[in-house]
Amino acid sequence: MAKPRRVTIENAEALKGKLNALDQIASESVLRQAAVAGGRVIHAEVKLRAPVDLGIYEGKQGRHPPGFLRSHIILAFEEEKSVPGRLASYIVTWSKEAFYGRFLEYGTSKMAAQPFLRPGFEAKKKAAAAAVSAVIQEKVRELSRG
């Protein structure tokens, strides 16, 4: 069995400051900033991969010019899957106006799939993780200085 060791704290206030900084690093604000940074990387790739029809789609909700789907790809906070202070979940999806994105992504009985969400995610998931890590590392440096 190991012998107990004594620990002496010479500057308790400095230790408290560092512990408080760690608490700020793990805050919901930093967590969201990091999640958004990763989400933006995937969002940009998905927008590039979204198919663009050169015709003008005339639907019940009005005219959809070329690139309508691409311009309606969004990055949205997903409150149901998020845990305050522990997990910030964001999704890359299409807006309600571009509902037909699901038909392109998954296909229909009359149309083959033209996936762009999943390939965009797969192509950039490592870069997104690096962006998340970079934000956290920057916050660690920023808060450990002060």
Q: Which pLDDT score is estimated for 120? A: 96
Q: Which pLDDT score is estimated for 18? A: 62
Domain assignment of residue 10, yes or no = no
For residue 55, count other CB atoms closer than 10 A to its CB.
Answer: 8
Number of domains the chain contains: 1
Q: The tokens 């999943």 sit on which residue?
A: 118
- Quote the domain boundaries for residue 121: 16-145
Domain assignment of residue 8, yes or no = no
Domain assignment of residue 7, yes or no = no
With 0.85 as the threshold, say if the pTM is over it.
no
Domain assignment of residue 3, yes or no = no
Categorize the per-residue pLDDT at 77 as very low, low, confident or very high, splitting at 50, 70 and 90: very high
- 3-class secondary structure, 57: strand
Condensed to tens digits (0 to 9), the pLDDT of residues 14-26 reads 667 666 665 666 6
Domain assignment of residue 57, yes or no = yes
CA–CA distance from 9 to each of 3, 12, 145 (Å)?
19, 6, 20
Which residues are CB-contacts of 134 (< 8 A; sequence separation ≥ 6)?
Answer: 37
Q: Which pLDDT score is estimated for 108? A: 93
Q: The tokens 């797969």 sit on which residue?
A: 122
3-state helix, strand, coil split of the chain in percent (to 5) is 55, 15, 30
Categorize the per-residue pLDDT at 59 as very low, low, confident or very high, splitting at 50, 70 and 90: low
